[in-house]
Chain A
Amino acid sequence: SQTIHQWPATLVQPVGSPLSLECTVEGTSNPNLYWYRQAAGRGLQLLFYSVGIGQISSEVPQNLSASRPQDRQFILSSKKLLLSDSGFYLCAWSLKQAYGYTFGSGTRLTVV
């Protein structure tokens, strides 16, 4: 069966520090991968999605970037965190041409 792993679960980082969140999927090949953010009191906002290795689409301009160095690995990064980057970050995967997807357990990021 397919599983998705996301870590760390919580992270407290100072303003201006770098960020690296990692997500891996097991049990499937060539999935679509997604990074979402849920800011306090807000809905789920799509940040990035990827349909293959090295293929990244950004949905909103921001202080973050994403990379997909391997088929089942998706990384969310920042060179310098801002206070506004605080939130709950979710990785998700889907099959090609599937209507819904499966989320990871999320990372609570607090920038102080």
Chain B
Amino acid sequence: DQQVKQNSPSLSVQEGRISILNCDYTNSMFDYFLWYKKYPAEGPTFLISISSIKDKNEDGRFTVFLNKSAKHLSLHIVPSQPGDSAVYFCAGNAGGTSYGKLTFGQGTILTVHP
């Protein structure tokens, strides 16, 4: 049962344009969502998060939107830069006894072309 899905394996964007990465989830118990960024041969690094009580969280060029009714979240990167090229994972956390136990999607490979 895949509770977090990133249906786009890859995304290619021109430098300076907007990158939109999407994520869908099925577990209604998720109350916190995170995005991680991963370069090859490195561990993922935390990018941005959002609580389920919010519908938007912004941090510089990165904005995460949450639509609870649709069980959908998205990450917007504006403007995109070549250094943003990486694999992006979204993750959900159900809190409670699952505090800290994240369920990840399959990842989306973002390529930003100069």
Contact = CB atoms under 8 A, between A and B. Distances in A.
Interface of A: 6, 9, 32, 34, 36, 42-46, 49, 88, 90, 92, 94-106, 108
Given A44-B89, A46-B102, 14 more contacts: A32-B100, A34-B101, A36-B104, A44-B91, A44-B104, A44-B107, A46-B101, A46-B104, A96-B100, A99-B49, A100-B49, A100-B93, A100-B102, A105-B43
A101 B98 CA distance: 13
Interface in B92-114: 93, 95, 99-107
B1 interface: no
Given A42-B106, A43-B89, A43-B105, A102 B100 contact: no
Interface string B28-57: 000010101000011111100100000000
A99 B41 contact: no
A11 B32 CA distance: 35
Contact of B100 (A36, A42, A98, A108): A98
A90 B99 contact: no
Q: Which 9 A-B pairs have the closest CB atoms?
A: A103-B43, A43-B106, A94-B100, A44-B104, A99-B32, A97-B99, A32-B100, A100-B34, A99-B93
B51 to A, nearest CB: 8
A93 to B, nearest CB: 9
Interface of B: 6, 32, 34, 36, 41-46, 49, 89, 91, 93, 95, 99-107
Nearest to A90: B43
B32 to A, nearest CB: 4
A34 B103 CA distance: 12
A105 B43 CA distance: 4
Nearest to A88: B41
A71 to B, nearest CB: 16
A34 B46 CA distance: 16
Contact of A43 (B49, B101, B104): B104
B24 to A, nearest CB: 13
Contacts of B106: 42-43
Given A43-B105, A99-B49, A100-B49, A90 B44 contact: yes
